C-alpha cells in the first residue's frame, strides 16, 4: 500500500544521500506525546541513514525501516542499498531508512551483560532521529526491522521477543547455528520469514494464536526462498506499509493501516473556501461511507479532533471512527487545527479561531451532504479532547453528544496565558510565547458557556476516557486522584456533573475506585475499562467517566465504540432540549 494521502512535507538537507549519524548513549526517548520511547543509557554509537529525496510525511505518519547487517562500514550499507534496491523503495513509499551499526564483536543477540545492550541501542537509534542531521522523524508504532544475515536476523528476533513494543513488524532469514529465540514477553509479532527458517515461523505463529488479548491484525508470511529485492518489495507492500502497532497497552495493539484513497476519503488541503479566519487556508479530511455517497437521506455528522503535534489522517487511524461510521451510517470529518498542530480551546481572539473553523465546516458539510443537524457529535484525543470539552460546553445548542479521550476541559478552566507554560513544553518556538498577557481571567469559551447555560438549562451526553497510566501534563499527577489539588480533572468532572443537572455536586475521593472519584456507579466493562456515572437531579445519567487499565497517553480502538454506544441515541431538538431515540 502506498499512502498517497499523507503528503510528503518533511525534507532533509541530506535527502537522497547515505549519511552517518551519531547515536549518543544518553539519547532521550521523550520526543513528544504519543511518540515517546523508553530509552536506557549505553555506549555512544552511530548509524547510517537514508532520507528519501522525495520527502517523508508528517512524523506521526512516517515509517522507519531498520536494516541490520553484521558490519559497520558504509560500503556494507551501500551494498545492501544496491542489492535490495532499498533507496528505490524508500523513495516510492516515503519511509526513513536506517542502518544501525553493530559494536565491535557483532550483534549482542545473546544479551551478554558485559557488552552494550543492543536492544536499547536500537531504540536509541529511533529516538535520535528528531535531533539528527537528517532532520526527519518517524512514528514509534511503525518501526520495522530487517535482518540481512544470520547474526542480524538473530538480533531482530531477540528485539522482537524482549521488547515487542519497539518492533511493529520484522523480516528475518536463517539464524546462526545454536541460536535459540528468547522466550521473551509472549507478545504478538507481525513478521515475514524467508530462507525457510522454521524456528522463526513457529515462534511467530505461536504468538499469533487467536486467544491472545487484543488480537486484531497480525500477519505472518513464510518463504523458502532467500531474501531478494522482489521479495522485499512484496513484504513492504503487504506487511510493513499496512502495519501499525499502537503503544496503548502493555505490548501494544495492532491495527491495519487505512488506505485512504481506496476507502474513499476526501482531502481538503490548505483550502480557503470556507471564508473564515481572514481567508486562512484550512485542512480537513472527510469520510463518507460508500453506502451514503449518493443518498438523499439526512445522516449524522461526527468530528474527530487529533492531539497536539499530530495530523487529521493520524487521528483517522488512531480513533477507528470510520469503521463505526461504515456500520452506523454517519459521516466523519477529521480537521487539522489552524496553527501549530494544536487547538485554540479558549477561542482566544488573538489567534485563529478553530471554533469558527468547525462552525464553517458544519455549514460546508450541509451543502455537500445531507446532514441531520439534530445529530452532530464531537470527539477528540488529548488536546483534541480539550477542544471537544470546550465545544461541548460552549455550543451545547449545536452538538448532541461528545466522546473525549485523555484531555480535561482546559478551555473552560484556563486562559491562553495560564495554559502557556504547559503548551510550550510541546512546542518551545510557539507563537504563544510572544503574545502579551490580556489581563483576562476567563476565556471566551467559559464566558460563552456560562452565558448559554444561563439562557437555557442545556444538557450534554458526555463520555470522558482517561488512561490510568497517563501522566502527560494537565497537572493530574498519578491516578487515582487524592484530592482537589489535581484541579484540571477535578474541575472537569465537577463541571460536567453539574452541567448535566446535579447542581449540588461536589467531588469526593475514595480508595475504592481506580480514578479516586466517588460516584453513583462504578462498573467494569470487559477486561480493561471501568465506568463511573453520576445521576442528575431528575435521575438521568448523562456523564460517563471511563478509566482504561494499562493505558498511557494513548487511545484504545474500543474508546470510540464504547463512546458511540452511549451518545448515539441522543439528538438535539430546535429548542435546545435533548431527545432520546432509543437505548
Instruction: Kindly report the pTM of this predicted structure.
Output: 0.95
Angle at 183 between CA 182 and CA 189, to 5 degrees: 90
Residues 468-477: tens digit of each pLDDT: 998 775 554 5
> Which regions of the chain are under pLDDT 50?
209-216, 476
What backbone torsions phi and psi does residue 560 show, to the nearest 5 degrees? -65, -40
In sign, the C-alpha dihedral spanning 111, 116, 121, 123 is positive
- Here the cell at position 280 is 486562512
- Here the cell at position 425 is 513544553
Q: pLDDT value at position 431? A: 81
Cα separation values, 404 from 54, 248, 448, Å: 37, 16, 20
Contact 260, 19 (CB under 8 A): no
Q: Print the SS3 string covering 171-222.
A: EECCCCCCCCCCCCCCCCCEEEECCCCHHHHHHHHHHCCCCCCCCCCCCEEE
Q: pLDDT value at position 473? A: 56
Contact 164, 184 (CB under 8 A): yes
The whole-angstrom separation of Cα 31 and Cα 323 is: 30
- Here the cell at position 8 is 510528503
| Alpha helices (H) along 397-550 | 410-413, 416-424, 444-455, 487-499
Other beta carbons less than 10 A from residue 300's beta carbon? 21
In whole angstroms, how large is the CA radius of gyration of the chain? 25
The whole-angstrom separation of Cα 305 and Cα 507 is: 28
Contact 252, 220 (CB under 8 A): no
Other beta carbons less than 10 A from residue 485's beta carbon? 9
Q: pLDDT value at position 415? A: 92
Contact 162, 228 (CB under 8 A): no
| Alpha helices (H) along 239-370 | 260-263, 312-319, 321-328, 354-368
How far from chain centre, in Å, is Cα 94? 19
The whole-angstrom separation of Cα 337 and Cα 405 is: 17
Contact 509, 482 (CB under 8 A): yes
Residue 161 DSSP SS3: helix
- What's the longest Cα–Cα distance across the chain? 77
Nearest to 309 by CA among 417, 424, 426, 390: 426
Structural domains of the chain, ranges and CATH numbers in brackets: 18-256 (3.40.50.1820), 260-580 (3.40.50.1820)
Contacts of 295 (CB under 8 A, 6+ apart): 370
524 beta partners: 530
Q: pLDDT value at position 208? A: 57
Contacts of 575 (CB under 8 A, 6+ apart): none
The whole-angstrom separation of Cα 185 and Cα 161 is: 6
What backbone torsions phi and psi does residue 372 show, to the nearest 5 degrees? -85, 100
Q: pLDDT value at position 477? A: 56
CA dihedral 207, 211, 212, 215 (to 10 degrees): 100
Burial of 115 (0-12, 13-18, 19+ CB in 10 A): middle
Which H or E run contains 402? strand 401-405
Tell me the CB-side half-sphere exposure of residue 161, using CA atoms within 13 A.
Answer: 18
Q: How many residues does the chain have?
A: 583
The whole-angstrom separation of Cα 399 and Cα 378 is: 7
Residues 51-90: tens digit of each pLDDT: 999 999 999 999 999 999 999 999 999 999 999 999 999 9
Omega before residue 480 within 30° of 0, cis: yes
Amino acid at each position: 500500500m502506498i499512502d498517497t494521502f499523507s503528503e510528503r512535507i518533511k525534507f532533509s538537507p541530506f535527502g537522497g544521500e547515505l549519511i552517518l549519524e551519531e547515536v549518543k548513549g544518553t539519547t532521550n526517548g521523550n520526543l513528544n506525546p504519543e511518540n515517546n520511547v523508553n530509552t536506557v543509557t549505553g555506549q555512544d554509537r552511530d548509524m547510517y541513514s537514508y532520507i528519501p529525496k522525495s520527502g517523508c510525511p508528517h512524523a506521526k505518519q512516517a515509517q522507519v525501516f531498520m536494516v541490520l547487517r553484521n558490519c559497520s562500514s558504509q560500503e556494507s550499507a551501500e551494498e545492501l542499498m544496491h542489492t535490495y534496491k532499498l533507496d528505490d523503495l524508500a523513495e516510492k513509499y516515503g519511509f526513513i531508512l536506517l542502518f544501525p551499526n553493530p559494536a565491535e564483536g557483532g550483534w549482542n543477540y545473546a544479551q551478554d551483560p558485559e557488552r552494550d545492550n543492543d536492544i536499547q541501542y536500537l531504540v536509541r537509534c529511533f529516538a535520535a532521529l528528531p535531533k539528527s542531521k537528517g532532520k526527519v522523524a518517524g512514528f514509534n508504532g511503525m518501526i520495522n526491522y530487517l535482518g540481512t544475515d544470520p547474526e542480524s536476523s538473530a538480533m531482530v528476533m531477540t528485539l522482537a521477543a524482549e521488547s515487542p513494543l519497539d518492533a511493529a513488524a520484522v523480516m528475518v532469514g536463517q539464524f546462526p547455528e545454536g541460536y535459540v529465540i528468547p522466550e521473551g514477553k509472549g507478545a504478538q509479532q507481525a513478521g515475514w520469514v524467508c530462507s525457510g527458517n522454521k524456528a522463526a515461523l513457529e515462534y511467530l505463529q505461536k504468538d499469533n494464536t487467536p486467544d491472545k488479548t487484543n488480537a486484531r491484525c497480525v500477519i505472518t508470511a513464510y518463504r523458502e526462498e532467500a531474501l531478494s529485492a522482489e521479495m522485499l518489495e512484496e513484504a513492504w507492500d503487504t506487511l510493513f506499509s499496512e502495519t501499525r502497532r499502537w503503544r496503548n497497552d502493555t505490548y501494544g495493539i495492532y491495527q491495519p493501516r487505512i488506505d485512504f484513497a481506496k476507502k474513499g476519503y476526501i482531502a481538503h488541503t490548505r483550502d480557503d473556501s470556507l471564508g473564515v479566519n481572514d481567508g486562512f487556508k484550512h485542512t480537513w479530511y472527510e469520510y463518507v461511507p460508500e453506502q451514503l455517497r449518493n443518498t438523499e437521506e439526512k445522516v449524522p455528522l461526527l468530528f474527530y479532533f487529533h492531539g497536539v503535534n499530530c495530523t487529521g489522517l493520524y487521528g483517522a487511524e488512531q480513533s477507528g471512527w470510520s469503521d463505526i461510521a461504515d456500520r452506523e451510517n454517519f459521516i466523519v470529518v477529521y480537521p487539522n487545527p489552524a496553527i501549530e498542530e494544536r487547538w485554540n480551546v479558549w477561542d482566544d481572539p488573538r489567534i485563529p479561531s478553530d471554533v469558527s473553523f468547525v462552525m464553517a465546516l458544519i455549514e460546508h458539510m450541509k451543502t455537500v451532504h445531507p446532514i441531520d443537524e439534530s445529530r452532530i457529535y464531537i470527539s477528540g484525543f488529548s488536546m483534541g479532547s480539550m477542544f471537544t470539552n470546550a465545544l461541548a460546553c460552549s455550543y451545547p445548542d449545536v452538538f448532541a453528544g461528545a466522546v473525549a479521550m485523555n484531555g480535561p476541559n482546559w478551555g473552560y478552566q484556563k486562559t491562553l496565558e495560564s495554559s502557556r507554560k504547559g503548551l510550550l513544553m510541546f512546542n518551545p518556538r510557539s507563537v504563544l510565547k510572544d503574545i502579551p498577557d490580556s489581563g483576562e481571567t476567563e476565556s471566551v469559551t467559559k464566558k460563552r458557556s456560562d452565558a448559554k447555560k444561563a439562557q437555557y438549562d442545556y444538557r450534554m451526553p458526555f463520555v470522558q476516557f482517561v488512561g490510568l497510566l497517563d501522566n502527560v501534563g494537565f497537572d493530574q499527577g498519578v491516578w487515582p486522584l487524592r484530592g482537589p489539588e489535581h484541579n484540571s480533572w477535578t474541575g472537569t468532572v465537577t463541571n460536567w456533573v453539574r452541567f448535566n443537572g446535579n447542581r449540588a455536586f461536589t467531588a469526593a475521593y475514595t480508595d475504592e475506585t481506580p480514578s479516586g472519584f466517588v460516584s453513583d456507579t462504578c462498573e467494569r466493562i470487559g477486561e480493561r475499562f471501568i465506568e463511573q456515572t453520576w445521576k442528575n437531579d431528575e435521575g438521568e445519567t448523562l456523564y460517563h467517566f471511563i478509566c482504561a487499565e494499562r493505558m498511557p497517553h494513548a487511545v484504545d480502538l474500543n474508546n470510540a465504540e464504547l463512546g458511540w454506544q452511549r451518545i448515539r441515541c441522543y439528538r438535539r431538538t430546535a429548542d435546545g432540549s435533548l431527545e432520546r431515540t432509543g437505548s
